[in-house]
Amino acid sequence: MNPVLHAAKLGVARGWIEFKQMLRNPQDFGFNIIMTIVFLIVLYFQRNRTIEGTDMALAMFALPSLLGMLVVFGGFMGAATTLTYEREDGTLLRAKATPNGMISYLISRIMSVTSYSLVSVIMLLVPGLFLIKGLANTPWTGWLMLFFVFIIGILATLPWGAVVGSVVKSTASSFNVTMLPIGALTAISGIFVPITGLPVWLQGIAQIFPVYWLGLGMRSALLPESAALAEIGESWRHLEMFGVLGIWTIAGFLIVPKLLRRMARKESGSTMEKRKQEVMSRGY
């Protein structure tokens, strides 16, 4: 078998194993459950409130927007924190020492992060369909659009999470570097209320980043065509959505392999031991 294909196959297998391990880890999966419950409570209290000037429930608008946000959290934060942690525990060093190990490692990250993000989306979407009337009537074309937006959303965010994970020094710092910007972007990207209610300059900033476009894509998949009246330009702007997310995807996958190779070259037994001693010293 071609060595690269063999490495890719091993990466897929490893990613699947890691995904199953995460599901069994109360610390990892428990956070997911808590976040889902919080979002469902928010949706419950929004179910009888309507968007100004329409008869559409605010919860019906918010649910697909939250799905887009979960994709960003899963792709960006998942890749950043995992990569940083595995650099600290020596996983990256072992991958570096294996033939085509970095290829296998990158594919395993894509596999595990994508699988875990899909579970996060399903956990919110399924109860949301029962909580919010009308969403269950989404046609098959809407579900297909939802799938495509999910895939391109993961591809647009995961490599940038890897970029952050390759430059920060610790798992704690990677969480701070990813959580704060995503929280700020969520606030201005029309996740909980239509973005058209924000100042134009904030709308412009939001449209640079994937959070807004993923929320828009999810809404275009699950909401009726009339709901586009609450969007910028009163349109779903599918061409612009796939264009912006495509640019983030291409740029990310052009940059991240170079950064990972550079980071791997710097990894050695001595640097890992030094990092371990620093972590232990902070614990005392």
pLDDT digits (tens, 9 = 90+) for 212-253: 999 999 999 999 888 888 899 989 999 999 999 999 999 998
Query: Residue 41 — very low, low, confident or very high, per pLDDT cuts 50/70/90?
Result: very high
Residue 253 lies in a domain: yes
pLDDT at 279 over 60: no
Considering its fold, how many domains does the chain have in total? 1
Please count the CA atoms within 13 angstroms of the CA of 207 that sit on its side-chain side: 16
pLDDT of the residue at 150: 96
Round to whole Å and give the CA distance between 85 and 162. 12
CA distances from residue 202 to 6, 78, 140, 177, 194 in whole angstroms, order as listed: 47, 27, 34, 21, 12
pLDDT at 86 over 80: no
Domain range for 144: 3-276
pLDDT at 89 over 50: yes
Helix (H, G, I), strand (E, B) or coil at 52: coil
What is the average pLDDT across 71-84? Answer: 85
Round to whole Å and give the CA distance between 119 and 91. 25
Bridge partners, residue 57, by sequence: 50
Indicate if the alpha-carbon torsion angle 235, 42, 113, 259 is positive or negative: positive
Please write the tens of the pLDDT for every residue from 100-153: 777 788 888 889 889 989 999 999 999 998 888 878 888 999 999 999 999 999
Round to whole Å and give the CA distance between 210 and 72. 8
Residue 281 lies in a domain: no
Residue 283 lies in a domain: no
**Pairwise pLDDT comparison (269 vs 199), residue with the higher score:** 199
Round to whole Å and give the CA distance between 45 and 59. 8
Indicate if the alpha-carbon torsion angle 142, 145, 149, 155 is positive or negative: positive
What is the average pLDDT across 258-276? Answer: 65
Q: Which residue has the tokens 């927007």?
A: 65
Residue 25 lies in a domain: yes
Residue 209 lies in a domain: yes
Residue 85 lies in a domain: yes
**Pairwise pLDDT comparison (116 vs 90), residue with the higher score:** 116
pLDDT at 13 over 50: yes
Average pLDDT, the chain: 84
Helix or strand (DSSP H, E) at 222:
helix 210-222
What is the average pLDDT across 245-272? Answer: 78
Structure tokens at 72: 């960003």
Question: Could you tell me if 81 and 175 are in contact, meaning their C-beta atoms sit under 8 angstroms apart?
Answer: yes
Q: Is 102 left (phi over 0), alpha (psi -120 to 50) or beta?
A: alpha
Helix (H, G, I), strand (E, B) or coil at 2: coil
**Pairwise pLDDT comparison (110 vs 204), residue with the higher score:** 204
- Least confident among 109-113, 197-201, 203-207, 254-258: 254-258
Residue 262 lies in a domain: yes
